Structure 1
């Protein structure tokens, strides 16, 4: 873990939590070093679908319940372009959807909640474009509608995915929960 990542980790339990995270920070989270044992982690590469979180806040957003923004740098040698599809490379839509769930799970634990993150569903998804190897950057935007922190820890949010500034995915009512045990999940 880098010194910068360690400094951010050490501030997570204070009121002055960081509002952005770089790639090293996200890899620290994937290894389980950011939020402690038994708590949510981001996936490891290759399934980690973001390179940085540029903004995260418990206030703001369309519904005033919080917001998060993350980015993924696109380059032609990303693993999925080689296999999806031969002679017609495109980022699978499910990976963009998973990135939105990843960002929501991160938000829940960043907010001081404990447990392992699990995607619980989505109300409606619309794809209106694609990510090609010629693209430069994907941006994920989350607007939280409801954050439940009682016996059940769950967030409900709307998400958007943009490629080079153009919206191509819209997801409504994304749901992610945190669980202390996933034995009966």
Structure 2
């Protein structure tokens, strides 16, 4: 935590995707086009709604994004699973940022509510992750609630998403 900044631009996120931020074998983001954010604007280990850590990130939307062409022709919309994946990515990133060792894995989600859509007309989505529990023992896991807003409108709500870190085989 102390060695890492409290915000990251796209270059910092790419560095994480290449395994250069938290070290080999540790939390890593996917490379574009699966990287679902352009910047992290806030990250903490003790902030957020429950005082157990949080992340806020942004993803710029434009009509040329890869998923609009294929999902669906003539009725383009960002797949909801990509928004959920963005929340999982940020949950794992926060664990690595805290200094926890191991590669990140999505372990599940309690509830997902899809209340709106991300269409090519949108300008930006914003992710919010609020940790409810962090385990840093032999088992390393974050449990968090999340939400995604598109241009300020709440579109996805997630409760009890889980990400774990495990040593690489």
SS in 2 for 1:100: helix
Structure 1 stretches of 4+ with a deviation exceeding 3 A read: none
Counterpart for residue 77 of structure 1: 64
Unmatched 5+ stretches in structure 2: none
Q: C-alpha separation between the residues in 1 aligned to 2:129 and 2:29? A: 16
1:120-139 to structure 2, matched below 5 A, reads 120-139=107-126
Tell me how far 1:16 sits from its aligned partner.
Answer: 5.2
Pair 1:173 & 2:160 matched? yes
* Greater C-alpha radius of gyration: 1
Identify the residue that residue 144 of structure 1 maps to in structure 2: 131
The residue matched to 2:87 in structure 1 has which SS? helix
Greater RCO structure (CA 8 Å; 6+ sep): 2
Which position in structure 2 is the counterpart of 1:6?
Answer: none
What is the rounded CA distance, in whole Å, between the counterparts of 2:137 and 2:109 in structure 1? 21
1:112-171 CA distance string (max 9 Å, x none): 001000000000000000000000000000010000000100000000000001110000
Query: Residue 140 of structure 2 aligns with which residue?
Result: 153
What SS is found at the alignment partner of 1:112?
Answer: coil
TM-score of the pair, normalised by structure 2: 0.98
TM-score by length of 1: 0.89
Q: Structure 1: 5+ residue runs without aligned partners? A: 1-11
| Equivalences for residues 1-185 of structure 1 within 5 A | 15=2, 17-181=4-168, 183=169
Provide the secondary structure at the position in 2 that maps to 1:86.
Answer: coil
- Measured on the aligned residues, the alpha-carbon RMSD in Å equals 0.9
3-state DSSP class of the match of 2:36?
coil
